[in-house]
Amino acid sequence: MSPFIVDSLNTHAVISARGAAPRGLSSAPMNDLPSRSDWQALLSGTTLSPAELLALNAIARLRELPAGATVFARAQPASELLAVLSGSVGLGLARVGQAAHLERSIRGPAWLDLGSAWLGEGHAQDAWSLSPVRILALPLPALRELMAVQPAMSERLLAGLARTVRSLVLMAHDLMHKDAEKRLAAWLLQGASSGCGEGPALLQLGQRKRDIAAQLAITPETLSRMMRQLKLKGLIEVQGYTVRLLDAGALRALAAD
């Protein structure tokens, strides 16, 4: 529940919560509108025109939520497209008494639920903030009007949904055909590439290990054991919440089907 993450391997270094850390190196203006780079990250493809930006900012609604808040609930009617601008949100199945079943975590800026609004059926899963978050909502009626005027917007949304489909297909594939070690290796490689493109292949975990385990569909105990395996094999170096990929090639080979 708490956004603060604590380590415990040998050194037990403390890392700052994502919500408390500066959100990005580029531009994080404290005004009430999403920044241009936010929009660009969400709506891929060619550069957004000033007219598009203006129209988007006109219909966008922003919400700020503390850590642990419910962003939306399963089966709750969806009338807006939702994205997380900063912070991270967990998707999965929330359960009343017990710990939630985290299935995916989305770190902003990225789409949260780009699809449910187009079907009249409500959200497919629960969503809750893992840190303080800024949520962007695009009401469907206004977006429909915008799409009628700006046909290119439709294609941007289609591309966004297509990207979601792609990542889900990949996830399903991994769940069906890869064991825990393979999935962890693949996750480390993906995290290292998307996190930042430096050479030494350093990786800040950025969330509780139990949450990482949940997304890999393994228990925290197994995650701990698999990390030790990789460490013993000399593929990675672990210091609390910092992982250094020592042999990306071998990791890739291990993660391959």
Partner DNA sequence: CGCGTGGTTGACACGGATCAATCGTGGTGG
Partner DNA sequence: CCACCACGATTGATCCGTGTCAACCACGCG
Q: How far apart are CA 206 and CA 52, in angstroms?
A: 33
Partner whose footprint covers residue 165, from DNA, a copy of itself, none (CB < 5 to 8 Å by kind): a copy of itself
Q: Binds 181, which of DNA, a copy of itself, none (CB < 5 to 8 A, cut-off by type)?
A: DNA
Residue located via tokens 């969400």: 42
Q: Give the nearest distance from C-beta 73 to DNA in angstroms.
A: 22
Q: Applying CB under 7 A, does 101 fall inside the site for DNA? A: no
166 is a site residue for DNA (CB under 7 A): no
Among positions 74, 163, 209, 233, the unique one binding DNA when judged by CB under 7 A: 209
Does the protein bind DNA through residue 104 (CB under 7 A)? no
> Which residue in the set 180, 202, 246, 248 belongs to the binding site for DNA (CB under 7 A)?
180
Shortest CB 96 distance to a copy of itself, Å: 13
Site residues (vs a copy of itself, CB under 8 A): 92-93, 101, 103, 114-119, 121, 124-125, 144, 147-148, 151, 154-155, 157-159, 161-166, 168-173, 175-177, 217, 257
Q: How far is the CB of 187 from a copy of itself (least distance, A)?
A: 14
Handedness of CA 89, 105, 92, 215 (dihedral sign): negative
Under the binding rule (CB under 7 A), the answer on residue 227 touching DNA is: yes
242 binding DNA? (CB under 7 A) = no
Spacing of C-alpha 14 from chain mean position: 22
In the complex, the residues that contact DNA under the rule CB under 7 A are 1-2, 4-9, 11-12, 14, 179-181, 208-210, 217-225, 227-228, 238
